[in-house]
Amino acid sequence: MGFPHPSHERETPVLSKYFGDPEARTLAGWRARGGYASFEKALGMDPVEIQNIVKDSGLRGRGGAGFPTGIKWSFMKPDGKTHYLCCNADESEPGTFKDREIMRWTPHALIEGVAIGAHAIYAETAYIYIRGEYSEPIRIMQAAVAEAYAAGILGANAMGTGKRVDVHIHRGAGAYICGEETALMNSLEGRRGNPRIKPPFPAVAGLFGQPTTINNVETLAAVPHILREGAEWYQQLGREDNPRSRGTKLFSVCGNIARPGNYEVTMGFPFGEFLNDMCGGALPGREIKAVIPGGSSVPILTREEAENTFMDYEGMVASGTMLGSGGVIVFDDRQDMVRQIARLARFYAHESCAQCSQCREGTAWTTRILERISAGQGNARDFDTLLSIADNMTGKTICVLSDSCATPVVSGLKKFRHEFEAKLGPDHSRGVVPVLLTSNRTVAA
């Protein structure tokens, strides 16, 4: 188990305060650090009261879309129906590994957040859907849930209040798309992880057809802190000139960077200082060439663009990209951008659920062209074709996986076109298409 780096002085550790502290992982250790006090408090409050505190705090979804959490919760009305809370722990966006650390080091923080969330949306049952590859976080979370049940924190009589709060761990089995909320619900129901058409929205008909709220791990883990310290405390964390992004955010940093890892900073932290100071900048003798700031699905920034960006929802949009999940992927001057963009496209081709025509065929086609260019077999037509395919793949499908595949291609072709052009081979004419038929399935004898 890898240990996290020591906290940097300019970090604001709220969620990450106990990362690396094995004692915080146990129920006793968590209680000693003030754990479950917020849940106890929440159980004595009306759900609407909790919704309002979270609304006032300015907390927005940390999974990527950035929807205000309190408002999302307020869609859930006491209508007598069975409600569900799903915690999205299917962290699969390349470059992102923050939820993993939350679950590994502070499992009870998440359980507490989930339990409060369930109470706040009139749900008695919550499921934490953890991606299948997270064998270690799953083990830790399962042990923590068992502890919480044994201590009477969860169950039919949660903390002795007579209220029922059940929390179950559900293991995924290898599918990026299950991080999409409606695909996650399908997967939990025992179906293929296909995203659903909206409407109906989950708050109307979600898991098992019932009103459902889906929140990211980081979002829910922040809730106990907000209840304990108050909405105002959270509200004042962040850059002064942007009232819309508040609180702290965990950024996962990876790729060609001196000190990879998770960093928790207040919203709106200057990206240049973050990369060069906090994360130690490029590796010795290297220079940063490009940065993907919010997980692989957002547009690529050049180093110059990145250094002039604020790390919050609006700041990223101003620079032509998105905050996304906060997964920062750094590329240095050794990297071949064509090859890496091809590799990203291959990721999406592998993960496409196969429902929408554009995504199923487009991601694979894009990959094949990029890999051909990367192998020196590209021709001048390919750029137009790639951009045209990208256009046909954007904004036309049930979910945004297709768009996510197109995004790095479009931004890469725009910002690193010279690298693509340098790869072009001798233009081969149409008609000498290699006829190579490959079977991709194994058939029973």
Residues 393-432 that bind other proteins (CB under 8 A): 393, 395-398, 430
Output 42 or 178, the one with its CB closest to other proteins: 178
By CB under 8 A, name the one of 29, 68, 132, 155 that touches other proteins.
132
Which stretch in 142-150, 265-273, 302-310, 371-379 sits in contact with other proteins by CB under 8 A? 371-379
- Say if CB 93 and CB 322 are below 8 A apart: no
Q: Total residues contacting other proteins (rule CB under 8 A)?
A: 103
Residues 317-356 that bind other proteins (CB under 8 A): 327, 329, 331-332, 335, 339-340, 342-344, 346-347, 349-356
First-to-last alpha carbon distance for the chain, in angstroms, is 43
Output 157 or 357, the one with its CB closest to other proteins: 357
- Of 174, 2, 170, 15, the C-alpha closest to 92 is 174
- Say if CB 167 and CB 148 are below 8 A apart: yes
Transcribe 284-347 into DSSP letters.
TT--EEEEE-SSTTS--EEHHHHHT-EESHHHHHHTTS--TT-EEEEEETT--HHHHHHHHHHH
Residue with tokens 């996986």: 401
By CB under 8 A, name the one of 50, 253, 298, 316 that touches other proteins.
253
Quick one: tokens of 33? 């650090």
- Of 237, 227, 257, the C-alpha closest to 95 is 257
Is residue 434 within the footprint of other proteins (CB under 8 A)?
Answer: yes
Considering the complex, what minimum distance in angstroms separates the CB of residue 139 from other proteins? 9
By CB under 8 A, name the one of 33, 41, 286, 360 that touches other proteins.
360
Cα 311 to chain centroid, rounded: 15
Could you tell me which residues come within 8 angstroms of residue 278 by beta carbon, excluding any fewer than 6 positions away?
8, 10, 11, 259, 263, 265
Pairing of strands 166-171, 125-130: parallel
Q: How far apart are CA 275 and CA 96, in angstroms?
A: 16
The contact pattern for other proteins, residues 55-94, with x = CB under 8 A and - = no contact, is ---------------------------x--------xxxx
Considering the complex, what minimum distance in angstroms separates the CB of residue 354 from other proteins? 4
By CB under 8 A, name the one of 9, 304, 426, 444 that touches other proteins.
444
Considering the complex, what minimum distance in angstroms separates the CB of residue 41 from other proteins? 27
- CB atoms under 10 Å from CB of 97, counted, come to 21
Considering the complex, what minimum distance in angstroms separates the CB of residue 10 from other proteins? 18
Q: How far apart are CA 133 and CA 112, in angstroms?
A: 23
The contact pattern for other proteins, residues 161-180, with x = CB under 8 A and - = no contact, is -----x-x-xxxxxxx----
Is residue 188 within the footprint of other proteins (CB under 8 A)?
Answer: yes
Considering the complex, what minimum distance in angstroms separates the CB of residue 150 from other proteins? 15
Residues 208-227 that bind other proteins (CB under 8 A): 208
Considering the complex, what minimum distance in angstroms separates the CB of residue 155 from other proteins? 12
Output 50 or 323, the one with its CB closest to other proteins: 323
Is residue 442 within the footprint of other proteins (CB under 8 A)?
Answer: yes
Considering the complex, what minimum distance in angstroms separates the CB of residue 100 from other proteins? 6
Is residue 8 within the footprint of other proteins (CB under 8 A)?
Answer: no
- Of 419, 420, 362, 370, the C-alpha closest to 391 is 362
Residue with tokens 């105002």: 232
Output 245 or 256, the one with its CB closest to other proteins: 256
Residues 112-131 that bind other proteins (CB under 8 A): 125, 131
Output 6 or 395, the one with its CB closest to other proteins: 395
2 to 5, 23, 240, 262, 375: CA distances (angstroms): 9, 16, 35, 12, 36
Is residue 385 within the footprint of other proteins (CB under 8 A)?
Answer: yes
Considering the complex, what minimum distance in angstroms separates the CB of residue 250 from other proteins? 11
Segments in 61-201 forming alpha helices (H): 69-74, 98-105, 107-120, 135-150, 181-188
176 to 113, 168, 179, 305, 393: CA distances (angstroms): 24, 21, 6, 29, 18
Output 78 or 209, the one with its CB closest to other proteins: 209
Residue 338 carries which side chain, given as an amino acid letter?
V
The contact pattern for other proteins, residues 286-305, with x = CB under 8 A and - = no contact, is ----------x---------
Is residue 244 within the footprint of other proteins (CB under 8 A)?
Answer: no
Provide Rg for the chain, Cα atoms. 23
Output 235 or 377, the one with its CB closest to other proteins: 377
Considering the complex, what minimum distance in angstroms separates the CB of residue 419 from other proteins? 14
